[in-house]
Chain A
Amino acid sequence: GAGVSQTPSNKVTEKGKYVELRCDPISGHTALYWYRQSLGQGPEFLIYFQGTGAADDSGLPNDRFFAVRPEGSVSTLKIQRTERGDSAVYLCASSTRSTGELFFGEGSRLTVL
């Protein structure tokens, strides 16, 4: 499709497990962003990539969270030793380098039991 694609759309896991969330941005978009949205809140910035490198990871809450974008396209957000507080919708967005418009995916809903 032409939009940002995120998989899985829903993920239920148990406390302490490892989780990977995938984002496939719009073709040709060099910048990729991860945001996290808790219930009733606005999205919160986690990390953004310009190409393959993380340009700003200041929003990652702790070292259990890590993200990669090895070929400058698809990105994976990895969460180790999940906690119940990690439950949220994880949103991915992409943009061209020069515009301010972010194109968001529909998100991956993570539930940690």
Chain B
Amino acid sequence: AQKVTQAQTEISVVEKEDVTLDCVYETRDTTYYLFWYKQPPSGELVFLIRRNSFDEQNEISGRYSWNFQKSTSSFNFTITASQVVDSAVYFCALKLTGGGNKLTFGTGTQLKVEL
């Protein structure tokens, strides 16, 4: 069975600080997909990124960057120069190939960015 662990329950930072959210996953499959979702107070999960297991290239999108390390089964998410609008719960998720979009989510990290 697969599992996603987000050990950081809550992180508080001051605006403009960089922050990294950790994600560690477990699966016996060699082919899989990893995701990050943002859940603002409205409750609607917002897709941020999808990465397949064959692509270990790091990705940057504006202030967001992701570091995928297959050797340590980690898929960490960094926000550079954090802003108050980044405050939300962030979820890491794993999907095996096949089976539609049946995702296994971690328990989430609550990020609070303060002025």
Interfacial residues, chain A to chain B (CB-CB below 8 A) = 3, 31, 33, 40-45, 48, 50, 55-56, 59, 89, 91, 93, 95, 100-107
Contact = CB atoms under 8 A, between A and B. Distances in A.
A43 B105 contact: yes
Contacts of A100: 33, 35, 50, 95, 101
A96 to B, nearest CB: 10
A89 B44 CA distance: 11
B100 interface: yes
Contacts, number: 62
Contact of B104 (A31, A41, A45): A45
Interface of B: 4, 33, 35, 37, 42-47, 50, 91, 93, 95, 99-108
Contact of B101 (A3, A40, A89, A93): A93
Contacts of A107: 43-44
A55 B95 CA distance: 16
B105 A106 contact: no
Nearest to B110: A40
